């Protein structure tokens, strides 16, 4: 007898339909086989399914079993197919179906209207799997009634509207639902908008002592979506300010939150819970260690998976001690910084991952962490900074110095600094100005032609910019960077035309162009 159960294949962060076909032939010799380009974990699923069915009190069919995972040309990996294979076997053997629904107290769940996914433990428990939110989106787009998923993945699936997310804890529970012995109780819909409004950043800029000039640069960077680099001695609050940055950015929209959650789910890094509803509610901040490999940083593997740059999507990628990162790793940043995505190609698959983030880097002036105080330490600083390639520095809009904090300000119990709330108000107001003028485009993404139209300069501002380009030897890319940053500064002050102070401040933010 043949049974068909619907599941999915996770390709990158997207879900593709997968039909699990199970054929039970009692006329053949006992043999089990899984076909359809399975990996080792999928081939081993038959043994897990056999034991889980037996330990759940059901009969495992003694027959020739053939499991086909269609389409056959897409590689299948992981334990996600344990549950659909078990349901298919029990349906093909008659355990699930019309013959077992006598005396059913509830309407049986029609397995043809649902997608199934889950790993089975040997005692029949259903364990969580990756990519459930992508699976739920697939079910919605294909017109299915809902998904049957592990209980731990339930909140993740419930954030997708228009479908039912039915959580299950054991294989016996699944059989009871399909035979009408148990009532199907979909999880309540998650109010995504309310969750996003309740999200709070873990660090407030009001807790940062001093560094008002750096906070000003961060406001400019956040308002225009610019990348930022902080240079200063150890212990000046650079890392703390980077972690506080999401608190001054606008809250994520429901679409952005689902997009980020889908990436974390595909990477197996989604932390569910009743508080978050299985949703990433705060803009992520990723801070990989400088020993990170290129594959872990940009994404990759035999079957491509998201890396740190994609896990930073819609948030902040923070690289502390930038010169300590291998140049081969840093150079992989060029594509995502320019295009906002990453393409990973392999022999059997090619995946594209979103990677639109704010890039924030911090570095000490020397390996010892102190500012230079003589000619020898100045040469040491120059050698240290030369580890960073000029093209990468050129792609960072704002360079700012974070000086050591004076003892009087550090020891004071009175906190007078700018808070995250004040900074966020400025950022939101400035972004509204940009979006009303440019649509969905922030100033950091403006092209040279756009800047000619919407960033006109006074004669004195033009003269200062020309002198800076000549004296500092800036590239054409840096020329546009200065104009973009100046446009943001003018928007903060609600000015239509770029004037001398706007250009002067933007030029001051090209600090490393004089050193690298």
Count how many Cα atoms sit within 13 Å of the Cα of residue 99 in the half-sphere of its side chain. Answer: 7
Burial 345-356 (b: 16+ CB within 10 A, else e): eeeeeebbbbbb
> Under DSSP, is residue 452 helix (H, G, I), strand (E, B) or coil?
helix
Per-residue pLDDT tens for 345-402?
Answer: 776 667 889 999 999 999 888 777 666 667 777 788 778 888 888 778 878 899 999 9
Query: What is the DSSP code string of 256-303?
Result: HHHHHHHHHHHTT-----TTTTT---S--EE---TT--HHHHHEETTT
Position 225 pLDDT exceeds 60: yes
Position 514 pLDDT exceeds 80: no
Q: Is the dihedral of CA 488, 494, 497, 498 positive or negative?
A: negative
Higher pLDDT: 502 or 410? It is 502
Query: What is the DSSP code string of 142-168?
Result: TT-SEEEEEGGGHHHHHTSTTSEEEEE
Per-residue pLDDT tens for 428-456?
Answer: 999 999 999 988 889 998 888 889 999 99
Mean pLDDT, to the nearest integer, of 477-491? 92
Strands (E), 117-240: 119-120, 126-127, 146-150, 164-168, 228-231
pLDDT at 163: 95
Query: How far is Cα 370 from Cα 368, in angstroms, rounded to an integer?
Result: 6
pLDDT at 83: 97
**Burial of 505 per CB tally in 10 Å (0-12, 13-18, 19+):** middle
pLDDT at 31: 83
Position 409 pLDDT exceeds 90: no
Cα Rg, the chain, nearest whole Å: 28
Higher pLDDT: 487 or 373? It is 487
Alpha helices in 167-232 (DSSP H): 171-179, 192-198, 212-224
Q: CB within 8 A of 327, min separation 6: which ones? A: 387, 389
- pLDDT cut 70: percent of the chain above it: 94
Is the separation of the CB atoms in 269 and 298 below 8 Å?
Answer: no
Per-residue pLDDT tens for 107-150?
Answer: 899 999 999 999 999 999 999 999 999 999 999 999 999 999 99
Q: Provide the pLDDT confidence category of residue 101 given band limits of 50, 70 and 90.
A: very low
Q: CB within 8 A of 417, min separation 6: which ones? A: 205, 206, 208, 209, 210, 211, 212, 215
Position 407 pLDDT exceeds 80: no
Position 98 pLDDT exceeds 60: no
Q: Provide the pLDDT confidence category of residue 100 given band limits of 50, 70 and 90.
A: very low
The single-letter DSSP state of residue 56 is T
pLDDT at 379: 81
* All domains in the chain, ordered by first residue: 2-179 (3.30.230.10), 196-440 (3.40.50.300), 446-516 (1.10.8)
Mean of per-residue pLDDT scores for the chain: 88
Per-residue pLDDT tens for 185-197?
Answer: 999 988 888 888 8
Query: How far is Cα 107 from Cα 310, in angstroms, rounded to an integer?
Result: 43
Per-residue pLDDT tens for 28-86?
Answer: 777 888 999 898 989 999 999 999 999 999 998 888 899 999 999 888 988 999 999 99
């Amino acid at each position: 007898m043949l049974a068909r159960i619907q599941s999915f294949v996770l390709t990158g962060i997207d879900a593709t339909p997968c039909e699990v076909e199970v054929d039970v032939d009692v006329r053949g010799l006992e043999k089990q086989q899984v076909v359809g380009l399975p990996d080792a974990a999928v081939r081993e699923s038959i043994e897990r399914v056999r034991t889980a069915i037996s330990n759940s009190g059901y009969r495992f069919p003694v027959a020739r079993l053939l499991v086909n995972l269609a389409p056959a040309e897409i590689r299948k990996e992981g334990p996600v197919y344990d549950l659909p294979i078990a349901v298919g076997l029990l349906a093909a053997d008659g355990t699930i179906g019309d013959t077992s629904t006598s005396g059913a107290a509830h309407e049986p769940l029609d397995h043809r209207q649902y997608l199934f996914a889950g790993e089975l433990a040997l005692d029949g428990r259903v364990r969580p799997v990756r990519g459930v939110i992508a699976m739920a989106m697939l079910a919605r787009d294909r017109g299915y009634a809902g998904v049957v998923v592990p209980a731990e993945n339930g909140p993740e699936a419930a954030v997708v509207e228009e479908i039912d997310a039915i959580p299950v804890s054991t294989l016996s529970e699944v059989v009871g639902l399909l035979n009408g012995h148990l009532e199907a109780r979909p999880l309540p819909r998650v109010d995504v908008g309310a969750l996003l409004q309740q999200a709070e950043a873990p660090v407030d800029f009001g807790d940062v002592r001093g560094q008002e000039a750096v906070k000003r640069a961060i406001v400019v960077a956040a308002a225009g979506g610019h990348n930022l680099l902080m240079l200063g001695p150890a212990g000046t609050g650079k890392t703390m300010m980077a972690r506080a940055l999401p608190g001054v950015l606008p809250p994520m929209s429901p679409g952005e939150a689902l997009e980020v959650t889908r990436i974390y789910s595909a990477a197996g890094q989604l932390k569910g819970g009743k508080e978050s509803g299985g949703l990433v509610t705060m803009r992520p901040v990723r801070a990989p260690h400088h020993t990170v490999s290129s594959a872990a940083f940009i994404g990759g593997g035999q079957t491509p998976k998201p890396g740190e740059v994609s896990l930073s999507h819609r948030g902040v990628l923070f690289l502390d001690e930038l010169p300590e990162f291998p140049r081969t790793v840093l150079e992989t940043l060029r594509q995502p910084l320019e295009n906002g995505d990453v393409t990973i190609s392999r022999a059997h698959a090619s995946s594209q991952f979103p990677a639109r983030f704010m890039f924030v880097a911090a570095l000490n002036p020397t390996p010892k962490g102190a500012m230079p105080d003589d000619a020898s330490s100045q040469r040491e600083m120059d050698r240290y900074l030369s580890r960073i390639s000029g093209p990468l520095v050129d792609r960072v809009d704002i360079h700012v110095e974070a000086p050591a904090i004076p003892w009087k300000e550090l020891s004071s119990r009175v906190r007078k600094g700018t808070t995250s709330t004040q900074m966020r108000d400025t950022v939101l107001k400035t972004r509204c100005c940009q979006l009303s003028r440019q649509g969905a485009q922030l100033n950091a993404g403006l092209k040279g032609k756009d800047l000619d139209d919407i960033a006109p300069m006074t004669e004195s501002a033009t003269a200062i910019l020309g002198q800076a380009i000549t004296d500092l030897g800036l590239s054409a890319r840096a020329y546009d960077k200065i104009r973009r940053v100046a446009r943001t500064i003018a928007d903060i002050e609600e000015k239509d035309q770029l004037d001398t102070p706007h250009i002067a401040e933007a030029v001051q933010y090209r600090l490393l162009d004089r050193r690298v």
